[in-house]
Amino acid sequence: MTFATQRLRKSPLVLAVAAAAMTASSLANAQADSDLEARLAELEQRIVAAEQRAAAAERRAEKAEREMAREQADDSRPVGQDIESRLAKVERHANGEEGFSFNVYARSGLLIGGDGKSTEGGPYLTPAGQQGGAVGRLGNEPDTYAEAVFNYRMRFDNGARAKYTTMIADGVTTSNDWTADESSLNVRQVYAEFSDLPSFTGAFENASIWAGKRFDRDNFDIHWLDSDFIFLAGTGGGIYDMQFADNWKSNLSIYGRSFSDFPVDSHNPAEDSGSTDNLILTSNNYFGNWQWMLNGMSATDNDERRTEGNISAADHGVHTMVAYHGDSFFGLNDGNFKAAVMHGRGWVPRPRASGPMAG
């Protein structure tokens, strides 16, 4: 009895220990499960964050690739265009279409007669007397003359072109090396000309404008006789190459220049001489090989010029010319020829030309 009783007393203790052990084990397992779940949740969050970072990195990489491709595409055009532009500019410089250019003309003559002494000469020197024809200027001019022309041409980004021209010249008749006392060095031309202007359309699309002091572009002469047929020159402005029809080009210009002093009839005794400040308004029209020029002239003070007899000096006038510019030597051979008829009325400084230098 006593043995049985002791076993019954120990059993609840064993059960309690077992229950406690089981409870501790359960709690430990629960804690472990909780820690594992937390770690799994943290790992999942880290995986999600890593996936987000990877996705963001992919987006940035794609964006960078797109931007790089776009920049490369944008850069490839200007580089190619820049190279082509620079090559074209070099070609224009090489061809004289842009940049600086320098032209010069000079002559110097020493004429020696049959007696071994210096003698006079000129383009109209002739061995046939007054009835003979001139032999021309080549080798017969005893002066020293030189002219230098400086041009600068440029082209703007919009396609417009500009040309700036300066011409200096000097001429003396002495044979000395130092000619400062009689030198006539001066600026014969200084002007600016603009063409291919984007704002010019229609009849003015191929026109060019100019302003300054210059020789007219379309002057022509008998050069071997030093005889100018048309010599428009002075200070003014104008426009070239207006295209009014397929076969009709026109130029318009105004020139001002002063002629030499002359005696005048004046109420003021101190003013016994005057000068002619002349204005020439010119319209030059070209129809194929034909040219029709019309000039209107107005002079200041010329009506006060002192004249002989009943002749009175005019202060305005009209001058016209019809010319044919042949592109062969009278149809016989290569070359060219010009034929012209001129007429003037009123104030016309020279019956053969619109200028003071026609011979």
pLDDT at 353: 42
Residue 355 pLDDT more than 70? no
Whole-number average pLDDT of the chain: 80
pLDDT at 229: 84
Residue 12 pLDDT more than 70? no
pLDDT at 3: 44
Instruction: Report the candidate in 114, 109, 273 with the shortest Cα–Cα distance to residue 175.
Output: 109
pLDDT at 358: 36
- Rounded to whole angstroms, the Cα distance separating 84 from 80 reads 6
Residue 243 pLDDT more than 90? yes
Highest mean pLDDT among 81-85, 113-117, 195-199: 195-199
Contact assessment for residue 187 and residue 149, using Cβ atoms and an 8 Å cutoff: no
Of the ranges 31-45, 215-229, 285-299, 305-319, which one carries the lowest mean pLDDT score?
305-319
Highest mean pLDDT among 21-25, 96-100, 149-153, 157-161: 149-153
Q: What is the mean pLDDT of residues 203-211?
A: 97
Sorting pLDDT into bands at 50, 70 and 90, what band is 215? very high
Greater model confidence, 214 or 344: 214
Q: What is the mean pLDDT of residues 168-182?
A: 90
- Rounded to whole angstroms, the Cα distance separating 326 from 340 reads 11
Q: What does 86-140 look like in DSSP terms, one character per residue?
A: HHHHHHHHHTTSSEEEEEEEEEE---B-TTSSB----TT--TTGGGSPP--STTT
Highest mean pLDDT among 147-151, 294-298, 300-304: 147-151
Residue 252 pLDDT more than 90? yes
pTM of the model: 0.68
- Rounded to whole angstroms, the Cα distance separating 347 from 303 reads 10
- Rounded to whole angstroms, the Cα distance separating 66 from 311 reads 90
Greater model confidence, 192 or 133: 192
148-162 b/e with 16+ CB inside 10 Å = b?
Answer: ebbeebebeeeeebb
Sorting pLDDT into bands at 50, 70 and 90, what band is 27? low
Q: What is the mean pLDDT of residues 246-254?
A: 96
- Rounded to whole angstroms, the Cα distance separating 193 from 211 reads 7
Residue 127 pLDDT more than 90? no
Residue 147 pLDDT more than 80? yes
pLDDT at 357: 33
- What is the per-residue pLDDT across 279-298, written as a single tens digit (0 to 9) for each? 999 999 999 999 999 999 88
Greater model confidence, 171 or 347: 171
Q: What is the mean pLDDT of residues 97-116?
A: 89
